[in-house]
C-alpha cells in the first residue's frame, strides 16, 4: 500500500488529538479529584457510584433520625428528673403535714407550696421540643394536660394507638422515642397531688396516710418509666456507634470507587506530556519536507 503525505498528516493529527484528549482527562481528574466527570467516562464506575451514594445518603438520614431520638429521650429524662424532684418535695411536705403539732395556718402554707409544685408539674407534662409535646405520644400537636386547676389530662392519653412515637433507625427497624404517657403524667398522678393539697387545705391530716401510699405508687411508676427510658437510651448509643461505623465504611467505598489517585494521575500526565512532545517532534520532521531538507 502506498503511503502518501496526506495519510501521514491525517494519522499524525489524529494521534495528537488523542494525546490532547488524554492530557485533558488527566487535568480534569486533578482539578476535580474524581476518576470521572461524566458517566460516559466509565459507565461501571458511574453505576456503582450511584449505588454507593444512595447507601451513604440512607446512613446520613438515619444519623439525623438518631439526633431526633437523642433530643426526645434527653428531654424526657430531664422532665422525669424534674417531676421526681417535685414529688420528693411533696412527700417531704406530706410527712410534715401529718405532724400533729402543725396548726391549720401552717398546713395552709404547706398546701400553697404544694399547689405551686402541682402547677410546675403541669408545665413539665406539657413540655415542648421543637413545637411538639413529647409527653403525649403521637398526638404531638396537643398538650397532654390542657387544663391545670385542677389538672385534667387529655381524654386520649391512655389510648394505645397514640402512646408510642417511633423513629426509624435502620431499614425496617424502629426505636421508641417517647415514654408511655399513660404510665407517667396520667390522671392518677395529678389526682394524688390535688388530693394532698385539698387534705391540707381542709386541715384533715388523717387523710394524708393513705395519700402518702398513693404518692409512693406514683413515684414508683415514675422510676419504672425512667429505668425503661435508660435502657432504650443505652441501645440508642450502641446503634449510634454502629451507624457511625457504617458511615465511615460507606465513605471509604465511595472514595475508592470515585476518587482519583492523585500521585498516579500526576505520573501518568507527565508521561503523556513526554509522549506528546516526542510525537510533535517526529511529526515536525516527517511532515511537509522542503527541497532544503533533501539537500542536507
Which cell is 99 given? 405532724
Mean residue pLDDT of the chain comes to: 86
256 pLDDT more than 90: no
Question: Whole-angstrom Cα distance, residue 41 to residue 47?
Answer: 11
Q: Does the pLDDT of residue 5 top 70, yes or no?
A: no
Fold of 50-254: f41 fragment of flagellin, N-terminal domain (1.20.1330)
Higher pLDDT: 57 or 269? It is: 57
Q: Which residue has the higher pLDDT, 27 or 185?
A: 185
Quickly count: other Cβ atoms within 10 Å of residue 89's Cβ. 14
**Alpha carbon distance 162, 133 (integer Å):** 12
Domains in the chain: boundaries: 5-33+262-295, 50-254
Backbone angles phi, psi at 257, to 5 degrees: -80, -35
* Pairwise pLDDT comparison (29 vs 205), residue with the higher score: 205
pLDDT tens profile 131-163: 999 999 999 999 999 977 889 999 898 888 888
Using alpha carbons, list the distances in angstroms from residue 269 to 17, 77, 119, 163, 232. Answer: 15, 60, 75, 64, 55
- Count how many Cα atoms sit within 13 Å of the Cα of residue 33 in the half-sphere of its side chain: 3
Average pLDDT rounded to a whole number, residues 31-52: 80
d(CA 187, CA 154): 9
Q: pLDDT tens digits, residue range 104-119?
A: 898 999 999 999 999 9
d(Cα 18, Cα 24) in Å, to the nearest integer?
10
Residue 126 pLDDT class (50, 70, 90 cuts): very high
pTM recorded for the entire structure: 0.77
User: What does the alpha-carbon distance between residue 163 and residue 182 come to, in Å, rounded to a whole number?
Assistant: 7
Amino acid at each position: 500500500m502506498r503511503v502518501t503525505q496526506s495519510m501521514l498528516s491525517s494519522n499524525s493529527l489524529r494521534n495528537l488529538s488523542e494525546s490532547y484528549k488524554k492530557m485533558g482527562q488527566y487535568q480534569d481528574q486533578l482539578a476535580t479529584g474524581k476518576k470521572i466527570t461524566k458517566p460516559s467516562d466509565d459507565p461501571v464506575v458511574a453505576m456503582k457510584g450511584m449505588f454507593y451514594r444512595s447507601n451513604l445518603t440512607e446512613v446520613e438520614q438515619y444519623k439525623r433520625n438518631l439526633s431526633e431520638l437523642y433530643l426526645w429521650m434527653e428531654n424526657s429524662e430531664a422532665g422525669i428528673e424534674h417531676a421526681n424532684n417535685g414529688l420528693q418535695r411533696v412527700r417531704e411536705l406530706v410527712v410534715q403535714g401529718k405532724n400533729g403539732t402543725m396548726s391549720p395556718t401552717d398546713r395552709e402554707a404547706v398546701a400553697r407550696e404544694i399547689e405551686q409544685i402541682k402547677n410546675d408539674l403541669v408545665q413539665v407534662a406539657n413540655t415542648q421540643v421543637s413545637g411538639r409535646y413529647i409527653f403525649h405520644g403521637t398526638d404531638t400537636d396537643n398538650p397532654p394536660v390542657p387544663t391545670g386547676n385542677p389538672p385534667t389530662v387529655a381524654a386520649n392519653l391512655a389510648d394505645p394507638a397514640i402512646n408510642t412515637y417511633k423513629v426509624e433507625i435502620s431499614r425496617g427497624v424502629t426505636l421508641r422515642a417517647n415514654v408511655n404517657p399513660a404510665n407517667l403524667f396520667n390522671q392518677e398522678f395529678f389526682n394524688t397531688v390535688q388530693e394532698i393539697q385539698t387534705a391540707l387545705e381542709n386541715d384533715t391530716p388523717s387523710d394524708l396516710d393513705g395519700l402518702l401510699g398513693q404518692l409512693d405508687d406514683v413515684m414508683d411508676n415514675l422510676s419504672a418509666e425512667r429505668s425503661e427510658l435508660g435502657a432504650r437510651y443505652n441501645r440508642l448509643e450502641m446503634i449510634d456507634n454502629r451507624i457511625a461505623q457504617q458511615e465511615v465504611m460507606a465513605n471509604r467505598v465511595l472514595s475508592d470507587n470515585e476518587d482519583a489517585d492523585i500521585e498516579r494521575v500526576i505520573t501518568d500526565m507527565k508521561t503523556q506530556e513526554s509522549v506528546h512532545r516526542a510525537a510533535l517532534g517526529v511529526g515536525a520532521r516527517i511532515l511537509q519536507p522542503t527541497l532544503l531538507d533533501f539537500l542536507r
